[in-house]
Amino acid sequence: MSVRTAILDRVRHAQRTGKIPSVPVVAQPVGAAGSDAGLKACTTNDNVERFRAELAALGVETFAESSPDEVCTRVEAIVGGRSVLAWDARQLPYDVARVLIGAARGSSPRDMQAAAQIGVTGCDAAIAETGSLVLLSGEGKPRTASLLPPIHLAIVRETDLRGSMDEFFRERAADIAGAACCTIVTGPSRTADIELTLTLGVHGPGQVIVIVGP
């Protein structure tokens, strides 16, 4: 058997045995796809349900909390005794910074940021149809918090949810243009080599956790 034939056989085998995660079907909003009528018909509950379903398919652990205090309690429990790299207090929702005692910030020494075990951020948008988090870098919102530590914990407000990326782009075009960087996080960092071996956490966090607050 030639090398070429062996490689093609492995690709065919991988295609036959590949599995796509099942995602609960969420009713689409009434109206044409992408239309303003369709976007307006999609309620907050629809977006939350779809967002959490997409996150589950991506292997992201999610929690839904009903009050700011419950969000803070959940953050404190997840962080535990880990060292933290976080956005500045004024950029984090629900006064989460009060439970992040001693956390490193974007202004902290680089070795302190590099040693962080978990990064804590808010988000500028959460995209329901793909389970994506959108983070616009800026003052008090260092990119390192979502990219450097092996675990990324993101706090999402219901008001951050958008049905689609198109909706977010149209709504926040000026903010995107003015940001130094727009980072879109869709599940844990993952890569695969020519042998189709999937590896998590090579180019970013290998674990993403999302808390959805009120």
Position 201 scores a pLDDT of: 65
In this predicted structure, the answer to whether residue 41 has a pLDDT above a threshold of 60 is no
Which phi and psi (to 5°) does residue 137 adopt?
-70, 155
Q: What is the pLDDT of residues 109-144, one digit of tens each?
A: 999 999 999 999 999 999 999 999 999 999 999 999
Closest-CA residue to 91 (of 106, 76, 112, 81): 106
Q: Which residue has the higher pLDDT, 190 or 99?
A: 99
Q: What is the pLDDT of residues 186-203, one digit of tens each?
A: 999 877 666 666 677 667
Domain membership flag for residue 82? yes
Which phi and psi (to 5°) does residue 128 adopt?
-65, -40
Q: How many Å apart are CA 143 and CA 23, to the nearest integer?
A: 30
The mean pLDDT of 61-88, rounded to a whole number, is 97
Number of domains in the chain: 1
* Residue 199, both tokens: 């590896």
Q: Does pTM top 0.85 for this prediction?
A: no
Report the share of the chain in percent with pLDDT over 70.
81
Q: What CATH number is associated with residue 184?
A: 3.40.50.10420
Q: What is the pLDDT of residues 152-189, one digit of tens each?
A: 999 999 999 999 999 999 999 999 999 989 999 999 98
In this predicted structure, the answer to whether residue 75 has a pLDDT above a threshold of 80 is yes
Domain membership flag for residue 38? no
Domain membership flag for residue 85? yes
Closest-CA residue to 118 (of 100, 131, 130): 100
Q: How many Å apart are CA 127 and CA 86, to the nearest integer?
A: 22
Q: Where are the alpha helices (DSSP H) in 58-164?
A: 68-79, 110-114, 144-147
Position 31 scores a pLDDT of: 44
Domain membership flag for residue 17? no
Report the share of the chain in percent with pLDDT over 90.
71
Q: What is the pLDDT of residues 15-38, one digit of tens each?
A: 665 555 555 555 554 444 444 444
Residue 186 lies in domain: 43-190+200-212
Amino acid at 137: S
Domain membership flag for residue 19? no
Q: Which residue has the higher pLDDT, 190 or 212?
A: 212
- 162: buried, middle or exposed (CB in 10 Å: 19+, 13-18, 0-12)? buried
Domain membership flag for residue 14? no
Mean pLDDT taken over the chain: 86
* Contact partners, residue 76, CB within 8 Å, separation at least 6: 99
Domain membership flag for residue 168? yes
Domain membership flag for residue 106? yes
Position 37 scores a pLDDT of: 46
* Residue 170, both tokens: 């149209």
